Amino acid sequence: MIILVISHTEHYLDPTGKVCGWGPTVREIDHLANTHGKVIHVACLSKKTPPPRSSSPYESGNVEFIGIPSFGGTGLHNKLQVIITAPIIIKTVFTQLKRADIFQFRAPTAMGIYLIPVLTWFSSKWGWFKYAGNWIQKKKPMSYAFQKKFLELYQKRPVTVNGNWQGQKSHVFTFENPSLSLLDLKKGEECFLIKKYEGPLTACFVGRLEKPKGVERIIKSLHVLSEKGVKEVHFVGDGNLSKEYKSLVINSSVKCHFHGFLNKLEISEIYRCSHLLLLPTTASEGFPKVIAEAANYGCVPVVSNVSSIPQYINETNGFIWDVTASTFENFLSSTVFDSGLRNKAQSARLVSRLFTFRAFSEKLDKWVFNQSDRDS
């Protein structure tokens, strides 16, 4: 089988000329290539060098990368790039469709505004759409709302989403976002067995350093975290506000470490020494992979009740902040971390098993690859 994957994932060339892309996406595509056949990945190729540390090269020899121009961003010029690059991208996609048996389109993304209708109306090729954002977000950006509505109402190929929602159409399937291998589960279990939850606690945040992700909320709550026994916080990721956030924690009683982007192995080391994952996000994501990844290493999730997160995290396996009821700071003030952490961590680790590549493959086989009705 030849699978065509179409995405906006930014790729780069490392100093040796090897193609690198965002680590989580690369690992997912590597898995597809190793278990289901050759993958042709049509995605953006950036001219920026060197690649960020969060990027990884493909490990499977069964992946072929086809670069398309980078596009999007803030400002009029960047917005126009979406239109200017459209003919090149459409031509590239349809050229590669001729070689493929099936396709996956990863939404939402700016090119989805035209590629989702084009693939629906002008291609008979079987495929599926992965919608990685918040499927039920009430105030979506206009382009995201259009893509969601079109996928839901105007085409019948499978759509995979985060979470299970009332009124979900028959062609819309709940898929946990895969990020863990069986080896990862083994490493997580070994870490959990020796991790101590008494004494000073270490917390971590993994994601973009921006307001919707909750970094500022964490910083404003450092004095409360200190009172609750948290002595240090690791921030993994980067963003335009990185310098501002670093300046805000200079006099904090909690020791803060800003690591920038890290690769998978380096992030795993952060999880190993951490007891809590802090993610008070209000962003438009579906289910952040870092929750499952951190829980696998025994990090108890301290998260918000947005999108599908509360379908997996509750008071038995974590701490969940109701974003409409109080500030994150007030929520932490009424939270107790010094009892029952190990039990919560153990329960959270059970949740992480849902996010394995094996579980992902089983759902693909059932709902995508083995469907007999392929009328698009």
Give me the pLDDT at residue 371, please.
Answer: 72
Q: Is the per-residue pLDDT at 262 higher than 60? A: yes
* 30-60 pLDDT per residue, tens: 999 999 999 999 999 999 889 999 999 999 9
Give me the pLDDT at residue 82, please.
Answer: 87
Give me the pLDDT at residue 138, please.
Answer: 87
* 178-194 pLDDT per residue, tens: 999 999 999 999 999 99
Look at 26-35, 154-163, 252-261, 333-342 and tell me which has the smallest mean pLDDT.
333-342
CATH architecture under which domain 2-178+357-369 falls: 3-Layer(aba) Sandwich (3.40)
301 DSSP assignment: E
Give me the pLDDT at residue 79, please.
Answer: 75
Give me the pLDDT at residue 76, please.
Answer: 74
Give strand pairing partners of 231.
none
Look at 70-79, 105-114, 198-207 and tell me which has the smallest mean pLDDT.
70-79
Structure tokens at 374: 């392929």
Structure tokens at 109: 């993304």
Structure tokens at 182: 């069986």
Q: Is the per-residue pLDDT at 254 higher than 60? A: yes
pLDDT band at 376 (very low <50, low <70, confident <90, very high): very low
pLDDT band at 372 (very low <50, low <70, confident <90, very high): very low
Global pTM value: 0.94
Alpha carbon distance 252, 226 (integer Å): 9
User: CB neighbours of 207 closer than 8 A, spacing ≥ 6?
Assistant: 213, 236, 237, 279, 281, 288, 290
Query: Does 2-178+357-369 match 182-353 in CATH topology?
Result: yes
Q: How far is CA 267 from CA 55, 168, 294, in A?
A: 13, 35, 9
Give me the pLDDT at residue 72, please.
Answer: 72
Terminal-to-terminal C-alpha distance of the chain: 19
* 280-327 pLDDT per residue, tens: 999 888 899 999 999 999 999 999 999 999 999 999 999 999 999 999
Average model confidence (pLDDT) across the chain: 94
Contacts 24+ apart (CB under 8 A), 314-318: 316/344, 316/347, 317/344, 317/347, 317/348, 317/350, 317/351, 318/344, 318/348
Give me the pLDDT at residue 314, please.
Answer: 96
Cis preceding linkage at 50, omega within 30:
yes
Averaged pLDDT for residues 147-152: 97
Alpha carbon distance 64, 200 (integer Å): 47
Alpha carbon distance 163, 287 (integer Å): 8
Alpha carbon distance 299, 273 (integer Å): 9
Domain boundaries, the chain: 2-178+357-369, 182-353
Alpha carbon distance 15, 18 (integer Å): 7
Please choose, from the candidates 352, 296, 263, 356, the residue with its C-alpha nearest in 3D space to the C-alpha of residue 35: 356
Q: Could you tell me the CATH superfamily of domain 182-353? A: Glycogen Phosphorylase B; (3.40.50.2000)
Q: Is the per-residue pLDDT at 74 higher than 80? A: no
* 205-241 pLDDT per residue, tens: 999 999 999 999 999 999 999 999 999 999 999 999 9
Q: Is the per-residue pLDDT at 113 higher than 80? A: yes
Please choose, from the candidates 289, 304, 268, 284, the residue with its C-alpha nearest in 3D space to the C-alpha of residue 177: 289
